[in-house]
C-alpha cells in the first residue's frame, strides 16, 4: 500500500521532500494547493527533485480558513475512501495538516504527524490550533526535540506513540546548501550589510498598526533591509496603504530555498516571524530576531541563535542592539534540531506501519468476486 504524504504550503514541501525521497516509490504525493503560485509551491517540487505531485486538489488556495479546511477535508475524504493507503504523513501546523489529519483519522488510516509537539500556547494563532488538532488525531507523533516530547507527554499522549526523530529541516537545509551557489535577487555586496526580513503571519499582517510597526522600524535603521515578501505581505502592504512608508526597503519576490539560505548566510541579521527560519538560522549560523507574541521553538533561543521581540518591544532598538553583538560565536554552536537523519527515521516508521511493498500490483485488471 502506498503512503500518502500530504503537502500544501511551501514549508511542508521543503520539510517533507527528504522523507518523500527516502520513501521513493512508496510515497504518493498529494498537494492540497493551499499555496498555489509557482513561486510558493510548484518550483519547490522541482528544486527538491521530487517530481510533480501525484494528486492535486482544487478550490483551496486563496480561500478563508474554514473554506480551505472544508474543501481539503471533503476531497481528501473522498480520496481516502477510494484509494488504499497504509499511512498518511502530515507535517507541521498549517490548515493542510488539520484537514489531512482529520481525513486520515476518519478514514481509519494511521496518521503520522511530523514535527509533532510544538506548542506556543497562544491559541490566537491558527497554527497553534492546527497543531492541537493534529496532536489529538495522530497515531504516531514524530517529535523533533526533547521539548516537543515533553509537550506531548504533558498532554497525556501515550509514550509508545511518541518518537524523537529530529527535524527534517536539517537534511533539507544541507541538501539545498550542497547545490551550486544561485543567482541572488540582491547583490551580495549589499546583502552582507543588510538585515534580511520575512514577515507573513496574521498577527503581523492583518492590521495596519501591526504591519506599520514593523515597516517603520525597518525604515528607521541605518542598514539596508531586504524584505522577501510573501504574497500575503505584499497584499497587506498595499491594502493598509503602507507602500510609501516601505519605500526604503528592498522588497523582493519569494525566492528558492537555496537562494533564501544563501541570503540568510550572507546577511548580518535575520528578522522574521517564520517557523522554518528559526530552525534554519541554527544551520547557517546567522542570528535571528523573532517578531512574534510567542514562539513554539524555544530551542533556537535557548541555544543562542534567536531572540523573541514581542509587539510591545521597540523593534528598531532590538535590531540595533543585535547588530552590535558579535555573531562569530554562533559558528561553533551545534543545531538543536537534529543530526540529519530524521527523514530516514520517519520513512522507516511509515514503512513499518504500512507494511512491506506488495509483490505486484497495477497490472491485475480482473475484478475479484465479492
Ligand atoms: C501558511 C500557513 C503558515 C505557514 C505559511 C508558510 C496556515 C494557517 N498558515 O500561511 O503556518 O508558515 O503558510 O508560507 O496554514 N497566497 C497567495 N499565493 C500563494 C499562497 C498564498 O497569494 O501562493 C495568499 C492567499 O491567497 C492568502 C494569503 O496569501 O490571501 C495567505 O495564504 P494562506 O495559505 O492562508 O496562509 P499563509 O499566510 O501562506
Is 200 one of the annotated active-site residues of the chain? yes
pLDDT per position as a tens digit, 64-76: 999 999 999 999 9
Give me the percent of the chain exceeding a pLDDT of 90. Answer: 95
Q: pLDDT class for 369, splitting at 50, 70, 90?
A: very low
91 in ligand 1 pocket by Cβ < 6 Å?
A: no
In the predicted structure, residue 364 carries a pLDDT above the cut 50? no
User: Which pLDDT score is estimated for 326?
Assistant: 85
Instruction: Transcribe 76-137 into DSSP letters.
Output: HHHHHHHS-EEEEEEESSSHHHHHHHHHHHHTT--EEEEEET-----TTSHHHHHHHHHHHH
Rounded Cα distance, 96 and 92, in Å: 9
3-state SS string for 241-303:
CCCCCCCCCEEECCCCHHHHHHHHHHCCEEEECCCHHHHHHHHHCCCEEECCCCCCCHHHHHC
Q: pLDDT class for 360, splitting at 50, 70, 90?
A: low
Q: Name which of 169-178, 302-311, 324-333, 357-366 the model is least confident about.
A: 357-366
* Closest atom of ligand 1 relative to the 93 alpha carbon: 11
pTM tops 0.75: yes
Closest C-alpha to 105, from 134, 69, 75: 134
Closest C-alpha to 24, from 344, 364, 367: 344
User: Which pLDDT score is estimated for 328?
Assistant: 84
pLDDT per position as a tens digit, 24-46: 999 999 999 999 999 999 999 99
Joined together, the cell numbers standing for residue 300 give 533556537
Rounded Cα distance, 262 and 89, in Å: 29
Q: pLDDT class for 367, splitting at 50, 70, 90?
A: very low
Ligand 1 center–CA 234 separation, angstroms: 12
User: Which pLDDT score is estimated for 359?
Assistant: 63
pLDDT per position as a tens digit, 267-297: 999 999 999 999 999 999 999 999 999 999 9
Question: How are strands ordered across the β-sheet holding 195-198?
Answer: 250-252, 225-228, 195-198, 269-272, 288-290, 306-308
Q: Can you tell me the mean pLDDT for 289-316? A: 97
In the predicted structure, residue 137 carries a pLDDT above the cut 80? yes
| Pocket perturbation via mutation, ligand 1, pick of 31, 100, 232, 279 by most ligand atoms within 8 A of CB | 232
In the predicted structure, residue 358 carries a pLDDT above the cut 80? no
* Closest atom of ligand 1 relative to the 37 alpha carbon: 23
Amino acid at each position: 500500500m502506498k503512503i500518502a504524504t500530504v503537502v500544501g504550503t511551501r514549508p511542508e514541501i521543503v520539510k517533507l521532500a527528504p522523507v518523500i525521497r527516502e520513501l521513493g516509490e512508496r510515497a504518493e504525493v498529494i498537494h492540497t494547493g493551499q499555496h498555489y503560485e509557482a513561486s510558493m509551491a510548484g518550483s519547490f517540487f522541482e528544486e527538491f527533485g521530487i517530481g510533480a505531485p501525484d494528486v492535486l486538489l482544487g478550490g483551496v488556495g486563496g480561500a478563508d480558513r474554514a473554506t480551505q479546511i472544508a474543501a481539503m477535508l471533503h476531497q481528501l475524504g473522498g480520496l481516502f475512501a477510494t484509494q488504499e493507503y497504509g499511512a498518511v504523513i502530515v507535517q507541521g501546523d498549517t490548515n493542510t495538516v488539520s484537514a489531512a489529519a482529520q481525513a486520515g483519522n476518519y478514514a481509519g488510516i494511521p496518521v503520522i504527524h511530523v514535527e509533532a509537539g510544538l506548542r506556543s500556547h497562544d491559541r490566537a494563532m491558527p497554527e497553534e490550533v492546527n497543531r492541537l488538532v493534529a496532536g489529538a488525531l495522530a497515531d504516531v507523533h514524530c517529535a523533533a526535540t526533547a521539548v516537543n516530547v515533553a509537550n506531548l507527554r504533558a498532554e497525556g499522549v501515550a509514550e509508545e506513540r511518541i518518537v524523537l526523530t529530529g527535524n527534517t529541516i536539517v537534511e533539507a537545509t544541507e541538501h539545498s546548501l550542497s547545490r551550486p551557489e544561485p543567482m541572488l535577487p540582491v547583490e551580495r555586496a549589499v546583502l552582507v550589510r543588510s538585515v534580511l526580513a520575512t514577515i507573513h503571519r496574521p498577527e503581523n499582517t492583518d492590521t495596519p498598526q501591526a504591519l506599520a510597526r514593523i515597516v517603520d522600524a525597518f525604515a528607521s535603521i541605518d542598514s539596508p533591509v531586504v524584505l522577501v515578501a510573501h504574497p500575503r505581505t505584499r497584499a497587506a502592504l498595499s491594502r493598509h496603504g503602507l507602500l510609501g512608508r516601505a519605500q526604503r526597503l528592498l522588497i523582493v519576490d519569494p525566492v528558492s530555498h537555496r537562494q533564501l539560505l544563501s541570503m540568510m548566510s550572507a546577511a548580518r541579521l535575520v528578522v522574521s516571524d517564520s517557523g522554518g527560519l528559526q530552525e534554519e538560522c541554527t544551520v547557517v549560523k546567522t542570528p535571528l530576531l523573532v517578531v512574534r507574541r510567542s514562539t513554539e521553538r524555544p530551542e533556537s533561543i535557548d541555544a543562542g541563535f534567536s531572540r523573541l521581540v514581542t509587539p510591545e518591544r521597540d523593534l528598531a532598538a532590538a535590531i540595533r542592539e543585535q547588530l552590535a553583538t558579535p555573531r562569530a560565536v554562533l559558528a561553533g554552536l551545534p543545531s538543536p534540531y537534529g543530526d540529519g537523519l530524521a527523514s530516514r527515521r520517519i520513512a522507516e516508521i511509515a514503512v513499518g506501519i504500512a507494511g512491506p511493498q506488495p509483490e505486484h500490483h497495477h497490472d491485475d485488471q480482473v475484478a475479484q468476486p465479492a
